[in-house]
Amino acid sequence: MTPMSKPVVTRFAPSPTGFLHIGGARTALFNWLYARGRGGKFLLRIEDTDRERSTPEATAAILQGMEWLGLDHDGDVISQFDGAARHAEVANQLLAEGKAYKCFATQEEIAEFREQAKADGKSTLYRSPWRDVDSADHPDAPYVVRIKAPQSGITTIKDQVQGDVTIRNDQLDDMILLRSDGTPVYMLAVVVDDHDMGVTHVIRGDDHLNNAARQMTIYEAMGWDVPVWAHIPLIHGPNGKKLSKRHGALGAQEYQSMGYPAAGMRNYLARLGWSHGDDEFFTDAQALDWFDFDGIGKSPARFDTKKLENLSGQHIAVSEDAALQHEIQAYLASAGQPALNDVQSANLEKAMYCLKERAKKFPDLLEKAEFALASRPIQPDQKAAKALSSVFIRILSELTPQLQNVSWTRDDLERLLNSLAEAHDTKFGKLAGPLRAALAGRAVTPSVFDMMLILGREETMARLADTAG
RNA sequence: GGCCCGUUCGUCUAUCGGUUAGGACGCCAGGUUUUCAACCUGGAAAGACGAGUUCGAUUCUCGUACGGGCUGCCA
């Protein structure tokens, strides 16, 4: 790429037949990173030419997933189906120029041929007998339009990830451009749309690698510039198999419902199949700056929840409190849980500093935030109740009046608790459990001093009094 | 079946002919500790296999095995 080359335009082109799964999300992310990192455009096109399987619900789910991940696109969402007339126009132009032809073979004939070829152990590549038939000899019957693919020579896909991939042209079939009902097929539509949209770099799953060779015949027939190809390896499930719904592939949004922050998800997804030296944890700005084709690996990667959690926790720790608040509310909504009310939000905000560094996901954070979210009287859960034996309750009730006059600082509170422990010939560590239980009703919380500081003198004393009965 | 692609610790990866094959997550042991998380120290853990090229291969070539993809009037 020279500085003079035209601006980068990438696109993400999912078909709306289901949710945005993790592999698609990563493809979208790579396209987004490549374009945005270079001041280019990132477009979104919905490949809805298959009317049978495309649904508006799926489109909505994809859009929502993109939004959650923060992958904003330029311009309107483009519907591939809307361009059907233009696609047909191109096919007809090719037909007029003799670069495509009408094929009258029926689907039954072709199916029969394939079955036979398979039985004979021969290539199932279909060669239409109509390729060179004069139009005067055409029957009055339904037909499909096929492109005249080259039958000799080679086609080389100069791929930025896979390197040069060469395919013998005699392996290429005369693919269908227009169905017998006149509607365009995907293979034609992608090429026309990518050209018309000015897409300069096609970054997509390597399941399209072979298709690229076939699509190149259309580019050549039309005399169009071929885009830069980058076919990235697919993501596999934990079992090493292709990601599928059956193998637990989840929609991007389910990760939101599980409480992962979008920034952590982006970091993890970017790191899956792409690397920049030994960098593991990075910001969007860094990813944007670093992302390039030479860092993309050639082999498929497996999804690893543990690593996602680790990265997720690191991102939560460095996030701004206000941003975390917003994301947590969105998480609750996506998980179908009640939103935090104003009081809870305010308390959460006060407690955020000591919560965000010890949570991997939002549910962990909220669990530890329970002391700030709950209101009196605190109901201890089973584990907390166990810590509240009568002997400790007695010590706590002894503590309560002493809290009245102590200065409400961490140092003084620590001093007070330590001397109280000493007076009972024990260590502060022994007191922490019951105190925690009384203040939070939970066994897992931030430091008891942080809780006391956040709760304040009055509330702390009230909760201890409640516990002492 | 045909064609295409891939193969480094359990997982994600670094290495662009010469390294005790590095890092991260996870795991194990120990430490710290106020629960959880975090943190500190240490540890186990990898070049699929077989040839070839080379003074020297994880790295280049070929073959085998295994995995994946495509082979639709799906995208």
Q: Model ipTM? A: 0.95
**C-alpha torsion sign, points A458, A461, A467, A469:** negative
The pLDDT assigned to A144 comes to: 97
Distance CA(A464)–CA(A469), nearest Å, equals 9
Spatial distance from the CA of A441 to the C1' of B35 (Å): 12
Residue A327 Cα distances to A87, A127, A331, A340, A353, angstroms: 42, 56, 6, 12, 16
SS3 at position A438: helix
Distance CA(A368)–CA(A359), nearest Å, equals 8
Q: What is the pLDDT of residues A406-415, one digit of tens each?
A: 999 999 999 9
The pLDDT assigned to A2 comes to: 47
Distance CA(A269)–CA(A407), nearest Å, equals 48
Query: Nearest nt to A442, CA vs C1'?
Result: B35
The pLDDT assigned to A245 comes to: 56
Q: Which of A371, A332, A333 is nearest to A350 (CA)?
A: A371
CB A371 within 8 A of CB A451: yes
The pLDDT assigned to A51 comes to: 87
Query: Nearest nt to A271, CA vs C1'?
Result: B12
| Peptide bond before residue A7 is cis, with ω within 30 degrees of 0 | no
Distance CA(A178)–CA(A198), nearest Å, equals 23
Apex A334 CA angle, A23 and A323, nearest 5: 90
Hey, which CATH number is domain A382-468, 3.90.550.10, 1.10.10.350, 2.20.28.10, 3.40.50.300? 1.10.10.350
Closest residue to B13 (CA to C1') is A275
**Protein footprint on strand B: which nucleotides are under 7 Å from a CB?**
1-8, 10-14, 22-26, 33-38, 67-75
The pLDDT assigned to A3 comes to: 47
Spatial distance from the CA of A459 to the C1' of B40 (Å): 37
Residue A285 Cα distances to A28, A120, A309, angstroms: 17, 57, 21
The pLDDT assigned to A243 comes to: 67
Query: Nearest nt to A162, CA vs C1'?
Result: B5
The pLDDT assigned to A1 comes to: 45
Spatial distance from the CA of A274 to the C1' of B12 (Å): 9
The pLDDT assigned to A248 comes to: 57
Q: What is the pLDDT of residues A26-62, one digit of tens each?
A: 999 999 999 999 999 999 999 998 888 899 999 999 9
Q: Just list the catalytic residues of A.
A: 245
The pLDDT assigned to A242 comes to: 66
Residue A127 CA neighbour count, 13 Å, CB half: 9
Q: Which of A68, A64, A80, A58 is nearest to A11 (CA)?
A: A80
Q: E-assigned strands of A367-415?
A: none
Distance CA(A309)–CA(A271), nearest Å, equals 13
Residue A104, phi then psi, degrees to nearest 5 = -100, 5
The pLDDT assigned to A241 comes to: 65
Residue A115, phi then psi, degrees to nearest 5 = -60, -45
Spatial distance from the CA of A325 to the C1' of B14 (Å): 37
Burial class of residue A449 in the structure, from the number of CB atoms within 10 Å of its CB (0-12 exposed, 13-18 middle, 19+ buried)? middle
Distance CA(A147)–CA(A102), nearest Å, equals 9
The pLDDT assigned to A50 comes to: 87
Residue A243 Cα distances to A22, A205, A247, A444, A450, angstroms: 9, 12, 6, 36, 44
Running DSSP on this structure, what letter comes out for residue A80? Answer: S
Q: Which of A106, A144, A118, A12 is nearest to A65 (CA)?
A: A12
Rounded average pLDDT per 10-residue block, chain A, 469 residues: 73 92 94 97 95 92 96 97 96 97 95 89 90 94 96 94 94 95 95 97 95 96 97 81 63 94 97 95 97 95 94 97 97 97 96 96 97 94 91 93 94 94 92 96 95 97 91
Distance CA(A28)–CA(A7), nearest Å, equals 19
Query: Nearest nt to A187, CA vs C1'?
Result: B75
Spatial distance from the CA of A157 to the C1' of B19 (Å): 35
Among left, alpha and beta (phi > 0; psi -120 to 50; other), residue A181 is: alpha
